[in-house]
A and B are shown apart, each in its own frame.
Chain A
């Protein structure tokens, strides 16, 4: 298959961040003590990415909720960001109604749909994402908007740090687009396999994104696991695994490979068990840069896999069918 539309969306990911990150948002003077983000699927991953990047400096928790059931602690002192690309995601609409009833400070990110009309009627700020592509390709806009929202309540660090590494990320993206890049190499390597992505929790957003990208772009089953859990109970099962399809990928930052560190020791232990695996260690001058490099890499790998297999990475008919049935439509 020739180059797909998905490739254009990937290329524009960083431009999408630039488009939205400096948006001015007026949320008034209310103080908040926690950030709640309600979203599903491709719209939720932006929240996981921001939360992973900020965990070591953000002075309040940023929680991602992927269910119509919301925690009872959401209240008037919570900043609630509700994101649905289509604006019609049923779970997110239910979250919106429940959060609104708590009196939380709210912002909506969407391309339109039902939620846009409802939020505008309710007087809640709506940040608009362009229409015309799959929700997972809207992550750039959403990340930029979340950074802008946080900045508007006096938390500008993520925005500044992300802006500081965009130029370097663009160079990395350009490298991945060149023939023979690591993304092409991995796309070829994982053809026909079932990848299992293993990370520390600070890269959880990357394993989630890779998993979803393998699932949706490459139509490939993929699992993820935490390094701590892997160390505790998965090592021997991997050593005993007799199948050929499952392939372990330990994904980490290059800076976490220092001798004596937990990742390095876990890797040595895996070596000792003698089953094949890959170590993908991402370079970068900050945690944000490493996270975003890893995210971009996974997106390109999976789109290249799809293109090599003659699959359109954008189509997901079973999701459309499932949503129809959930709504009772024939």
Chain B
């Protein structure tokens, strides 16, 4: 039996879950100090942990941006498996040999208690990255590994601290080299930030985005970038945005982009990088060459640097664009 319920009805608000975004959150703007926040956070010592082999990383709210940024390095450089979760489902394979990392800036995401409880019952090693809330309480009272980040920030300002904390945690879990890799790119990130903030390039992208629904695409390695960009548009600008990934894009989505007359409503924002795969690079280039032939509105943004560096540059650019749209914060 299938139920289809068309909804357009006003009813009582349920605030308990799926809360309405408050006006305070809508005014969230990112900070231009993201590289400095990473540096500050990297300086915090994390005690050595048992060597990890399997990590189940739960990301809530905007914490997924930090999770995806750092995990892209692990994906290519470590034999440790990192599997990312975004809601209450705890996979059956989580056992006492699994490291469960729960990352939520507020520490009050509604799923946290359920996940913590299941992870405890499975005797997983639990690590928490948060500024406080229920998550910090649970972690403290159950002797989990708690990495506190500063309270009083908005979710986007917290990203730098979350990146630093997760890098430190991974290093402590035996993923060697990640901290040095992160540290070494900080000067380049600062230089990039200074070059794009309030720049003509940023203003141009802002102008293009102003009256259209942005749809952000990138290769999977830059998942953090399209997630950041989308969430910023949603939360800071209060507008809809969507995201997708290459090369999957050229296996199905491109069909509708080139044939559906509703495409006028959207702006395609493509983040492009040079990866280790010549094929993937060629796919990115060819897609960007082909789409304009169909009169689609498209903006291509090239990001340079190595793993993590190019993702964080994308985050910085997205922050700068949204701040400029919000009024030059």
Pick the contact of A219: B2, B86, B256, B280 (CB < 8 A): B256
Complex: how many Å from CA A75 to CA B245? 26
**B242-266: which residues lie under 8 A (CB-CB) from chain A?**
242, 244-245, 247-248, 250-260, 262-263, 265-266
A132: CB under 8 A from chain B?
no
Chain B minimum-CB-distance residue to A322? B250
Interface residues in B, total, Cβ within 8 A:
89
Q: Given A58-B93, A319-B251, A326 and B282 touching (CB < 8 A)?
A: yes
Do the beta carbons of B93 and A60 come within 8 Å of each other?
yes
Determine, out of B5-13, B29-37, B177-185, B298-306, the stretch whose residues face the partner at the interface: B5-13
A6: CB under 8 A from chain B?
no
Complex: how many Å from CA A94 to CA B275? 14
Complex: how many Å from CA A65 to CA B277? 14
Return the CB mask of A230-267 against B: 1 if under 8 Å, else 0: 01111111101101011000000010000010100111
Complex: how many Å from CA A196 to CA B77? 35
**B229-248: which residues lie under 8 A (CB-CB) from chain A?**
231, 233-235, 238-242, 244-245, 247-248
A119: CB under 8 A from chain B?
no
**B24-79: which residues lie under 8 A (CB-CB) from chain A?**
26, 54, 60-62, 75-79
Chain A minimum-CB-distance residue to B88? A262
Q: Given A201-B86, A274-B10, A219 and B255 touching (CB < 8 A)?
A: yes
| Closest-CB distance, B88 to chain A (whole angstroms) | 7
Task: Report chain B residues within 8 Å CB of A94.
Answer: 277, 279
Pick the contact of A254: B1, B86, B247 (CB < 8 A): B1
Determine, out of A15-23, A108-116, A122-130, A276-284, the stretch whose residues face the partner at the interface: A276-284
Determine, out of A24-32, A145-153, A159-167, A209-217, the stretch whose residues face the partner at the interface: A209-217
The 6 closest A-B pairs by CB, nearest first: A41-B251, A265-B17, A266-B18, A219-B259, A269-B18, A233-B234
Complex: how many Å from CA A219 to CA B263? 11
Q: Given A262-B17, A265-B17, A270-B7, A229 and B86 touching (CB < 8 A)?
A: yes
**B79-113: which residues lie under 8 A (CB-CB) from chain A?**
79-81, 83, 85-89, 91-93, 95, 110-111
Chain A minimum-CB-distance residue to B243? A223
Give the B-binding residues of A (Cβ under 8 A): 34, 40-42, 44, 54-61, 63, 66-69, 71-73, 75, 90-91, 94, 136, 182, 185-186, 192-194, 196, 200-202, 211-212, 214-216, 218-223, 225-229, 231-238, 240-241, 243, 245-246, 254, 260, 262, 265-283, 293, 297, 316, 318-319, 321-323, 325-326
| Closest-CB distance, B52 to chain A (whole angstroms) | 11
Q: Which of B17, B111, B252, B286 is the most central at the interface, judged by chain A CB atoms within 10 Å of its CB?
A: B252
Do the beta carbons of B3 and A279 come within 8 Å of each other?
yes
Do the beta carbons of A281 and B16 come within 8 Å of each other?
no
| Closest-CB distance, A269 to chain B (whole angstroms) | 4
Do the beta carbons of A235 and B18 come within 8 Å of each other?
yes
Do the beta carbons of B21 and A233 come within 8 Å of each other?
yes
B162: CB under 8 A from chain A?
no
B219: CB under 8 A from chain A?
yes
Complex: how many Å from CA A241 to CA B234? 11
Chain B minimum-CB-distance residue to A241? B240
Do the beta carbons of B4 and A254 come within 8 Å of each other?
no
Do the beta carbons of B75 and A71 come within 8 Å of each other?
yes
Task: Report chain A residues within 8 Å CB of B9.
Answer: 271, 274
| Closest-CB distance, B67 to chain A (whole angstroms) | 13
B221: CB under 8 A from chain A?
yes
Q: Given A69-B76, A212-B252, A231 and B18 touching (CB < 8 A)?
A: yes
B220: CB under 8 A from chain A?
yes
B191: CB under 8 A from chain A?
no
| Closest-CB distance, A20 to chain B (whole angstroms) | 22
Do the beta carbons of A265 and B16 come within 8 Å of each other?
yes
| Closest-CB distance, B100 to chain A (whole angstroms) | 13
Given A237-B233, A266-B18, A325-B290, list of 7 further CB < 8 A pairs? Answer: A61-B81, A67-B280, A72-B75, A182-B2, A215-B256, A236-B21, A297-B2
Complex: how many Å from CA A270 to CA B20? 9
Do the beta carbons of B4 and A186 come within 8 Å of each other?
yes
Do the beta carbons of A234 and B234 come within 8 Å of each other?
yes
Do the beta carbons of B238 and A55 come within 8 Å of each other?
no
Do the beta carbons of A245 and B262 come within 8 Å of each other?
yes
Task: Report chain B residues within 8 Å CB of A225.
Answer: 242
Do the beta carbons of B92 and A57 come within 8 Å of each other?
yes
Complex: how many Å from CA A319 to CA B287? 10
| Closest-CB distance, A153 to chain B (whole angstroms) | 14
Pick the contact of A41: B10, B213, B252 (CB < 8 A): B252
Do the beta carbons of B262 and A221 come within 8 Å of each other?
yes
Q: Given A221-B256, A272-B12, A278 and B6 touching (CB < 8 A)?
A: yes
Return the CB mask of B196-213 against A: 1 if under 8 Å, else 0: 000000000000000001
B283: CB under 8 A from chain A?
yes
| Closest-CB distance, A297 to chain B (whole angstroms) | 7
Q: Which of B251, B260, B294 is the most central at the interface, judged by chain A CB atoms within 10 Å of its CB?
A: B251
| Closest-CB distance, B55 to chain A (whole angstroms) | 10
| Closest-CB distance, B188 to chain A (whole angstroms) | 22
Chain B minimum-CB-distance residue to A223? B242
Complex: how many Å from CA A192 to CA B282? 33
Task: Report chain A residues within 8 Å CB of B12.
Answer: 268, 272
| Closest-CB distance, B204 to chain A (whole angstroms) | 23
Do the beta carbons of A226 and B86 come within 8 Å of each other?
yes
Task: Report chain B residues within 8 Å CB of A192.
Answer: 262
Chain A minimum-CB-distance residue to B240? A237
Complex: how many Å from CA A246 to CA B287? 25
B295: CB under 8 A from chain A?
no
Chain A minimum-CB-distance residue to B23? A236
Chain A minimum-CB-distance residue to B71? A71
Chain A minimum-CB-distance residue to B22? A236
Do the beta carbons of B262 and A265 come within 8 Å of each other?
no
Q: List 14 A-B contacts (CB under 8 A).
A: A58-B92, A66-B247, A75-B79, A215-B255, A219-B259, A231-B19, A232-B21, A235-B20, A236-B20, A240-B239, A243-B265, A245-B262, A270-B7, A279-B3
